[in-house]
Amino acid sequence: MQSEAIRGHQMPSEAISGRNQRQSEAIRGNQRQSEAIGAYRMQSGAIRGHQRPSEAIRGHQRQSEAIRQSEAISMQSM
């Protein structure tokens, strides 16, 4: 009889853990939505980039400068 009563007490704790898992999955679903929104922003940014090619070229120059700097830093660390 006692063991059955203990099992009965374990049941609600299992139900609570199940609820928590469902909530965390729902939160993950919301994160996926926000990631999708971020992807849409990325696309609109790409479209803006097409409108301003000169800025995009400047961006590439900045990237190459950053690569040179990172290479110089890596050489120093060696």
| Residue of 68 and 40 predicted with greater confidence | 68
| Span 3-23, pLDDT tens digits | 665 556 566 666 666 666 666
What amino acid occupies position 12?
P
| Span 22-54, pLDDT tens digits | 666 666 666 666 677 666 666 666 666 555 566
Which pTM value belongs to this model?
Answer: 0.21
Residue 30 burial (10 A CB sphere; 0-12, 13-18, 19+): exposed
Contacting residues for 72 by C-beta, under 8 A, at least 6 apart = none
Distances (CA, A) of 68 to 32, 56, 72: 36, 19, 6
